[in-house]
Structure 1
């Protein structure tokens, strides 16, 4: 492995993605914060990383657009010499019972969560250096099976399938492919639209009796992105023991 690892973090300007970007930078990795449409938040993330002594830059790309994602990877290679880690946190979540879901919302989630993962993974496996790590983002809802999450869980089930098969397709490359599957985590994406009673009830799901924090998820990503070289082809449930 190269002395200084270079990481691309999609969705790195906010929520779990930003905390992951900051954690990888703290670990000594050079980080490219990829964002969809808010340059101010991305620059805030870069500023926070550099202020803490890390190295980072921002790049705008729609993860479902193959040309923009290819440009992201090309720019990263030219700027930093190569790519060792790709963490694909970018995703959207729209909740509804299956019977009532607007199919336009289903298509939006499919485009970002399924096509976006496929496009990012395709560039990653073409470009990652030996010793590299690809980390997708799934969800514990595929396991917990909560009502109203049908369409979202369906998109993340596709991510699980891609992850497990891709690990085998990379035989002989010395590249690990895993997915992190967070449970209820205190992010704006998760908390949006939920009343306090719902939040308190969800916090009791885990035996540890709290919601996850983005730092809890970033801890698992840090492990997979660095020392965990014998963990491969796995979906890691990072949820405090929710079943």
Structure 2
């Protein structure tokens, strides 16, 4: 933490194409969204300035490498906490609880992922979403580099559906009036901020920032601003410290 403070900025790995979470605003050129505003809170806690952030735009598949090599101090990119990832990196406490659903065309009769047998379903490389598609052998899994890559394939008619966290699919539906999100969540996707495994002091510091956000109303205000399309704000995720199976 002292090295980061002396450097004068926090180097962060983010998405620039995930609407509502981390996406570049075409009018201002700024990257914005729920994940980005969480990072602004961390920056404020360290420097007293929300904008001491150096952005590194990375894909889902680059998240682990960026942390393992020390390219970034922290990753905020719809990053699901799981035991496999915890073998090589550290996570903050959970700051958002998402769930995997599917995006289909407006005229599709599918009510969920179980109705997509024989169809082509896209998910990004390096995600738990793509791994979970293997549980449905009748579905043709189609990987893409990014979530936006999946959306392009969907709009070109090269895939029939996209599967992903409800947060991400909500952004797609906002961009494409001919698409809709269907089904109940088929997974639990607890989002955490990824941090290099050796930086235990940073994990503790970031957890303190997240706890403050939960208790002072900041978390709810950010949800309403960016994710209100998913419905009324739920209670913030309860912090669970330490690793759980």
The answer to which structure, 1 or 2, has the higher relative contact order (CA under 8 A, 6+ apart) is 2
TM-score scaled by structure 2?
A: 0.34
TM-score scaled by structure 1?
A: 0.34
Greater per-residue strand proportion: 2
Greater per-residue helix proportion: 1
